[in-house]
């Protein structure tokens, strides 16, 4: 008679079903749609290296700019790209990625920022401020480090170190 008790209990109990509108949001830490902060991207390709399905690729544009490309149709939402990104430019928001009508929608192509160096004038990709603070500390003033390409930055840092020890 166990099934009879179960049926009677179910008849009196409330339904377990959530109406689509009243579903609770995904829990924190849920790996949903990928967000890319292009201002913090340095084009290092670590994310493309870490991505197993090849959803992230970095391509060269016709004008010499670098493009960060993402295809949610190939993404496994494993977040290894976000874990490996040195400048924390990638994050997965805790919301389910939206439905798509065709395979191409939702694809992203962000240009990696580039500007001429304050020292030598060559085009370079600036490091984001948190990375500079973490790497250089207060050896070199931040606004100088942000405007210099890697060569000029190295030169400025070594000058600052030699200057301190004199």
Partner 1 sequence: MNPFRNLLARARAKSPWIYCCNAGSCNGCDIEVAACLGPRYDIEQIGALRQGSPKHADVLVVSGPVTRRSREALRAIYDQMPEPKAVVALGSCPASGNIFCGSPTVDAPLAELIPVDVYVPGCPPRPEAIVKGIARAAEILAEREEGGRR
Partner 2 sequence: MSEWWRDLVALLLWPGVAAGAVLGWLLLWMRRKLTARLQRRAGPPFFQPFYDTIKLLGKQTVIPAGVNRALFYGLPLASLAAVAYALALIPAPLSPARGFNGDLIVLIYLLEVPAVCEIMAGFSSRSIYGQVGAAREALLGLGYNLPFLAALLAVATSVGSFSLTVVAGAPIGLIHVVAALAFLLALPARLKSNPFSIPNAEQELVGGAHTEYNGAPLAIFELAHTLELVALCGLLAVLVLPATGLPILDLLLYLAFCALVVAGITALAAGTGRIKIDQAVRFYWRWGLAAAGLSLVVALW
17 versus 62: smaller Cβ distance to partner 2: 17
The Cα 100–Cα 85 span in angstroms is 27
Other CB atoms within 10 Å distance of the CB of residue 10: 11
Residues of span 107-146 touching partner 1 by CB under 8 A = none
Which H or E run includes 12? helix 2-12
Span interacting with partner 2, options 1-9, 25-33, 79-87, 141-149, rule CB under 8 A: 1-9
Identify the burial level of 142 via C-beta atoms within 10 angstroms of its C-beta, where 0-12 means exposed, 13-18 middle and 19 or more buried: middle
Q: Residue 85's closest CA among 54, 143, 131, 146?
A: 131
Interface with partner 1 (CB under 8 A), residue from 1, 4, 9, 20: 20
Is 22 near partner 2 (CB under 8 A)? no
19 versus 162: smaller Cβ distance to partner 2: 19
Give the footprint of partner 1 on this chain (CB under 8 A): 15-20, 23, 26, 33, 52-54, 71-78, 96-103, 106
């Amino acid at each position: 008679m166990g099934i009879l008790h179960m049926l009677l209990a179910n008849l009196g109990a409330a339904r377990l079903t959530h109406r689509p509108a009243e579903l609770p949001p995904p829990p924190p830490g849920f790996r949903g749609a990928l967000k890319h902060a292009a201002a913090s991207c340095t084009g290092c390709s670590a994310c493309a290296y870490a991505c197993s399905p090849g959803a992230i690729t970095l391509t060269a544009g016709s004008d010499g700019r670098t493009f960060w490309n993402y295809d949610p149709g190939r993404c496994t939402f494993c977040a290894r790209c976000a874990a490996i990104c040195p400048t924390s430019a990638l994050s997965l928001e805790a919301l389910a990625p939206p439905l798509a009508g065709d395979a191409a929608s939702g694809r992203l192509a962000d240009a990696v920022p580039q500007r001429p160096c304050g020292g030598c004038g060559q085009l370079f990709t600036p490091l984001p401020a948190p990375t500079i603070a973490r790497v250089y500390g207060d050896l070199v003033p931040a606004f100088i480090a942000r405007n210099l390409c890697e060569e000029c930055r190295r030169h400025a840092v070594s000058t600052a170190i030699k200057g301190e020890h004199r």
